[in-house]
Amino acid sequence: MPHLRRLLAPLAACLVLALTGTGSLALARGDSSQNHADHGTRHATDHRCGPNDYSAWDEEWLMMSIQGDLFEIQGGQLAQRQATTDKVRALGKRLVEDHTKSLKDATELAERLGIDVPDSPSPTQQWMLRAVAQFHGRDFDRWYADLEVHDHKQDIKEAQDEVDKGCNPDIRDEAENELPVLKEHLQLAQDALASLT
Ligand SMILES: [Fe+2]
Ligand SMILES: [Fe+2]
């Protein structure tokens, strides 16, 4: 369907730009009208929360992290069904495994602290999954790997921000524990993309 593909390519390009643009966090990761830059001025803390206290920044990071896990799991499942190369299928499988684990950890933590647990990826993430699913063959592999490269760059930045500026010790630990996993995912996605171009 060449016409559809002509439409989708620029859409997907916009998407990647939206993911990587300054202040795109709320757009890319959640429905909140606030973003981390706002929190930086209003909610950055001096790390003195007790184990049962949390800042608005902590809450937003944890909820976005859960939405991100749901996004990665659905994307990884899609890649296992639709990718044409072993590398991209393996990337999808690995993302499902690791993000299923981090979803469990983050959900338990949110429930303990009384933070809402999102039950689906953000609307923008759902749209991205629908958009990438329109590609087939090597085009799919390329767009999926490219999406995961950009997404994990953003995820790493957000997790580091939580480590640096978060308040609740357990949420900050969760972010810190996520960082090496996210960096490995970025490397895997970059390798998969490089093998296709
Ligand atoms: Fe992600
Ligand atoms: Fe990941």
Measure 150 CA to ligand 2 centroid, in angstroms: 11
Measure 71 CA to ligand 1 centroid, in angstroms: 7
Asked if residue 126 has pLDDT above 80, the reply is yes
Closest CA to 31 of 132, 137, 91, 121: 121
Q: Would 124 be classed as within a structural domain? A: yes
Other C-beta atoms within 10 Å of 164: how many? 12
* pTM reported for the whole predicted model: 0.81
Measure 99 CA to ligand 2 centroid, in angstroms: 6
Asked if residue 106 has pLDDT above 60, the reply is yes
Q: Would 10 be classed as within a structural domain? A: no
Q: Would 45 be classed as within a structural domain? A: no
Identify the domain containing residue 128 by its residue range: 54-194
CATH of residue 137's domain is 1.20.1260.10
Q: Would 163 be classed as within a structural domain? A: yes
Q: Would 141 be classed as within a structural domain? A: yes
Q: Would 4 be classed as within a structural domain? A: no
Asked if residue 62 has pLDDT above 80, the reply is yes
Cβ(133)–Cβ(144) below 8 Å: no
Measure 174 CA to ligand 1 centroid, in angstroms: 15
Q: Would 96 be classed as within a structural domain? A: yes
Going by the DSSP 8-state scheme, the letter that residue 85 receives in this structure is S
Asked if residue 29 has pLDDT above 70, the reply is no
| Ligand number with the minimum distance to the CA of 178 | 2
Q: How many domains does the chain have?
A: 1
Q: Would 174 be classed as within a structural domain? A: yes
Q: Worst-scoring range by mean pLDDT, 15-29, 55-69, 161-175, 179-193?
A: 15-29
Asked if residue 35 has pLDDT above 90, the reply is no
- What pLDDT, on the 0 to 100 scale, is given for residue 8? 54
Measure 186 CA to ligand 1 centroid, in angstroms: 10
- What pLDDT, on the 0 to 100 scale, is given for residue 48? 79
Measure 1 CA to ligand 2 centroid, in angstroms: 31
Measured between alpha carbons, how far is 164 from 45 in angstroms, rounded to an integer?
9
| Ligand number with the minimum distance to the CA of 95 | 2
Residue 168's identity, in one-letter code, is: N
